[in-house]
Amino acid sequence: MTNFHIMTKPSGAICNLDCVYCFYLEKEKLYSPGKSFKMPDDVLESFVRQYIQSQTSATIHFAWQGGEPTLMGIAFFQRAVELQKKYSDGRVIENALQTNGTLLDDSWGEFLAKNNFLVGVSIDGPAYLHDAYRVDKGGQPTHSRVLRGLHLLQEHGVEFNTLTVVHRKNSYHAREVYSFLKEIGSKYLQFIPVVEQISTTSDANGLHLLKPFAPQSMSVSEWSVESLQYGKFLQEVFDEWVRADVARVFVQVFDVAFESWMGMDQSLCVFARTCGSAMALEHNGDLYSCDHFVYPDNKLGNILQRPMSTLSALPQQLRFGKGKELGLPSDCVSCDVRFACNGECPKHRFLTTATGEPGLNYLCAGYKHFFHHIDPYMKYMVSELQQNRPPANVMSWANKFNPAAV
């Protein structure tokens, strides 16, 4: 049995914010209006039981996301922890909660600390960059409320990381964003590029943010990060990190790049050779191929009707996962940084190559820029590790032999 990962959305697409770039809010249209978007107890118990039973590892990781999962209230997660203990059979259970942070209070802090939740807080940098797109239902800024929630987590000793969406505006302020994240105490950083195609007419389900090569006429949204600029953003952060913060601040994309240069399988799905082992569970038990492919034709079934272990192994899902590698255009197959990128996420593969082949990733230029830039540093770190020396030695090497950031 192959382990898989589930991103669980107990409140579905419902959120107390109205972030301009959010790709998930409109998923509400896939479900009947007026129906509850809160995961009922029978779905929760079935999910917890099936997920634990389907995993072969000694430690089982639960990931709760949204929408905004804290809308479910503390009682829901108390029940989830209770069920995890009931079905764990002695195995270690770990929980991760991704939140916008605005609804956190002392009760949440106490619960999250007591139950050792890892909390991801979404924040896009200083106020003027964060509030450019992350607003509430009234269009009001949220930055101060997010910081209040983050400080509350710190006061209660809750382990946290930050998730920063890299968009059209903050992508031009990489060093400022990175410095800000360190200033607020984040030592574990995720940078997620926002890339959305928006159609002028909706599909049959009322959705406007559509999959690659959908029949509707589409254009890249004004908030999407530009390809080369995303690569420059990562490069600028890397140039700061590699000279001062290696082994002190952990940046997910840099860690995964190091895996690639080590010849290891990538731990992050977007850079892995194939995909399909990271699915999304909606509030009513519907299981989808991926968090970025919550569309009717990517629905695998409902876990109350068929076990998730069966759904995850359906030919439909296996084709979805293998399609990532099989769908690469020849430009990608022959690319010198394919080993690090593997064509990145299929959601972003909506360009055609110069010779007209479909499937080229929108972020291709950015990734080429970034991976070529970090190559000598990664090779040095790999060499140090192979000689039983700390890869963090790259900092002194970078400062001595490469004093000027490009």
Rounded distance between C-alpha atoms, residue 402 and residue 328, angstroms: 35
Grouping H, G, I as helix, E, B as strand and the rest as coil, residue 4 is coil
Would you say residue 24 has pLDDT above 50? yes
Beta bridge partners, 288, equal 280, 299
Q: What angle do CA 128, 364, 276 make, to 5 degrees?
A: 95
Beta bridge partners, 286, equal 302
210-238 pLDDT, tens digit per residue, is 888 788 888 999 999 999 999 999 999 99
Would you say residue 404 has pLDDT above 60? no
Rounded distance between C-alpha atoms, residue 84 and residue 94, angstroms: 10
Place of tokens 């240069």: 261
Please, are residues 343 and 324 in contact by the beta-carbon 8 Å criterion? yes
Grouping H, G, I as helix, E, B as strand and the rest as coil, residue 278 is strand
User: Which residues neighbour 383 within 8 Å (Cβ) at sequence distance 6 or greater?
Assistant: none
| Packed helices 394-401 and 364-386: angle between N→C axes, nearest 10 degrees | 110
Q: What is the mean pLDDT of the chain?
A: 95
Place of tokens 């790259």: 394
**Average pLDDT for 340-355:** 96
Catalytic-labelled residue, pool 286, 291, 297, 336: 291
Active site annotation includes 18: no
Does the N-terminal peptide bond of residue 263 adopt cis geometry, omega within 30 degrees of 0?
A: no
- The DSSP result for 74-130, as a single string, is HHHHHHHHHHHHHH-TT-EEEEEEEE-STT--HHHHHHHHHTT-EEEEE--SSHHHH
| Confidence bin at 185 (pLDDT 50/70/90) | very high
Residue 124 token pair: 């896009």
pLDDT of residue 204: 83
Rounded distance between C-alpha atoms, residue 186 and residue 331, angstroms: 38
295-305 pLDDT, tens digit per residue, is 999 999 999 99
Would you say residue 200 has pLDDT above 90? no
Would you say residue 405 has pLDDT above 70? no
Full set of structural domains in the chain with CATH: 5-327 (3.20.20.70)
Beta bridge partners, 122, equal 163
pLDDT of residue 178: 98
Give which of 166, 186, 211 is closest to 347, Cα–Cα.
211
How much of the chain, in percent, has pLDDT values that exceed 70? 98
**What is the enclosing helix (H) or strand (E) of 8?**
strand 5-8
pLDDT of residue 216: 85
Would you say residue 123 has pLDDT above 70? yes
- The DSSP result for 130-169, as a single string, is HTTT-BBTTS-B-HHHHHHHHHHHHHTT--EEEEEEE-TT
* DSSP conformation class of 60: E
**Average pLDDT for 25-29:** 90
Please, are residues 95 and 117 in contact by the beta-carbon 8 Å criterion? yes
Give which of 80, 48, 88, 63 is closest to 269, Cα–Cα.
63
251-284 pLDDT, tens digit per residue, is 999 999 999 999 999 999 999 999 999 999 999 9
Residue 374 token pair: 């970090």
Rounded distance between C-alpha atoms, residue 168 and residue 347, angstroms: 18
Grouping H, G, I as helix, E, B as strand and the rest as coil, residue 180 is helix
- State the number of CA atoms in the 13 A half-sphere of 287 facing the CB: 29
61-102 pLDDT, tens digit per residue, is 999 999 999 999 999 999 999 999 999 999 999 999 999 999
Residue type, 365: A
| Packed helices 252-261 and 364-386: angle between N→C axes, nearest 10 degrees | 70
pLDDT of residue 403: 55
